[in-house]
Amino acid sequence: MENLHIDFKKSLGQNFIFDINLLNAIANDGEVEKTDTVLEIGAGAGTLTNVLCKKAKCVYSFEIDNSLSTYLNKLEKENNNLKIFYQDFLETDISKLNLKDVRVVANIPYYITTPIIFKLAEFKNNFKSILVLIQKEVALRFVAKPKTKDYGITSVCLQSIFDVSITRIVKKENFTPQPKIDSALCKLVPHNKFNLDSFKFFSKFVSACFSMRRKTLINNLKLDYDKQKLILALKKIGFNETVRPEEIDVESFVKLYNFLKN
pLDDT tens for the chain, 262 residues long, are 444 555 544 444 456 788 999 999 999 999 999 999 999 998 988 999 999 999 999 999 999 888 888 889 999 999 999 999 999 999 999 888 888 999 999 988 778 889 999 999 999 999 999 999 999 999 999 999 999 999 999 999 999 999 999 999 999 998 877 878 899 999 999 999 999 999 999 999 999 999 998 899 999 999 899 999 999 999 999 999 999 999 999 999 999 999 998 7
Closest alpha carbon to 151 in 136, 137, 141, 165: 141
pLDDT at 262: 78
pLDDT at 178: 80
Peptide bond into 109 cis (omega under 30): no
pLDDT at 5: 55
Same CATH fold, 199-261 and 10-190?
Answer: no
CA distance 102 to 90: 18
pLDDT at 125: 92
The model carries a pTM of: 0.91
Give the amino acid at 83. K
pLDDT at 6: 52
Give rounded-to-5 percent helix, strand, coil for the chain: 45, 20, 35
Q: Domain residue spans in the chain? A: 10-190, 199-261
Asked whether the beta carbons of 92 and 120 are under 8 A apart, the reply is no
| CATH number belonging to the domain at 10-190, selected among 3.40.50.150, 3.30.428.10, 3.30.420.40, 3.40.630.10 | 3.40.50.150
| CATH number belonging to the domain at 199-261, selected among 3.40.50.1820, 3.40.50.720, 3.40.50.2000, 1.10.8.100 | 1.10.8.100
CA dihedral 79, 82, 87, 92 (to 10 degrees): 180
Closest alpha carbon to 133 in 234, 47, 30: 30
pLDDT at 145: 98
